[in-house]
Structure 1
């Protein structure tokens, strides 16, 4: 990912927090020189590895998992809030439109999880993570054993230790201070939740 210095985010805690908040990522592999992708929910274990370890699962019918064994490297993309920025918000008339956005690219080599207990733990953790916002969370535990075993047979679980990562928070940091404040204020006043989220991120990184 092309990341100019002004937009680079290197703080590991910030990047891990971002991945956890935007955990529905895109897993990208290569098959015979052609990119293939899967959209998956991920769990990030921050205690394993220098940058953390990702865990996820996909349908066994999705043959992308068969590419893991021979892949030199696999990419996972996490995307956060993003929005269009019009040059009419700038002082300088000779400007062009752009897009403010946040993204983290993660690289590593996936390893398929064969142990049934590990698979169950992954599924339960992901379920609890997703269900925690509900007043009456659905429980994975208590499902009939034969039903669970059937579902697991149709599932491939995997983990990927993060070997390297790039964080890009493109939030008008390359613009003059007054432009940054004006853009953030305009987005904050918008009725679009994405605009408001970008505005909040901009305010954290605005020039003093």
Structure 2
């Protein structure tokens, strides 16, 4: 996370909303062979746990249960040109939002894994309306159970939430508004909205 206190993101509800909206991130953990990472979809199971699954052949899958891990979600991000501030003596930078969830991992049983997979698909299928929602009932008999054997489910019990929201908070409002406008014009609407959110 960024060391400047101006960019420390403390709003847990907003961080959770980002994790839920993205729904995908990178899991990092130490293994006997060194640090490893995996890209995984994730879903909040409750206030302080996220669920995710890995291929049984993933380098992390054999050693993950009982270990501490870090799950990182990247939100909107954008390059910022110094020319956009309307101020002298600026440098290029990158604005971004990111959330780190740190905690211990436990393995899921089969029923919990099925509930997780159903939950992830239901969460994302709902966003595709008016498309009819996909469910595993559409699969031929026995196929889901066979595929389930290839993955392992886990829960990350969150002990620390860390967030960075670097959105020009250290710049005058006029400069921040100018950058947000340029980003919006370039189609970087997510980052532009985050910059504008903190302005009166």
Same fold (TM over 0.5): yes
**Which residue of 39, 58, 62 corresponds with 1:62?**
58
Query: 1:28 Cα deviation (Å)?
Result: 0.7
Match of residue 153 from structure 1: 149
1:40 aligns to 2:40 (yes or no)? yes
Runs of at least 4 residues of structure 1 off by over 4 A? none
| Superposed counterparts of 1:29-178, under 5 Å | 29-32=29-32, 34-45=34-45, 47-48=46-47, 52-69=48-65, 71=67, 73-114=68-109, 116-132=110-126, 133-134=128-129, 135-141=131-137, 143-178=139-174
Structure 1 unpaired stretches of 5+: none
Which structure has more strand as a fraction of its residues?
2
- 8 Å CA contact 1:57–1:156 kept in 2: the answer is yes
1:4-49 Cα distance to aligned partner (Å, 9 max, x none): 211111111111111101111000112247321111110013x34x
Aligned residues: 198
> What secondary structure is seen at the aligned counterpart in 2 of 1:131?
helix
- 8 Å CA contact 1:127–1:140 kept in 2: the answer is no
TM-score (norm 2): 0.92
RMSD value, Cα? 1.7
Query: 1:69 Cα deviation (Å)?
Result: 3.5
Moved more, 138-147 or 36-45: 138-147
Q: Give me the whole-angstrom Cα distance separating, in 1, the residues matched to 2:92 and 2:31.
A: 36
- 8 Å CA contact 1:29–1:67 kept in 2: the answer is no
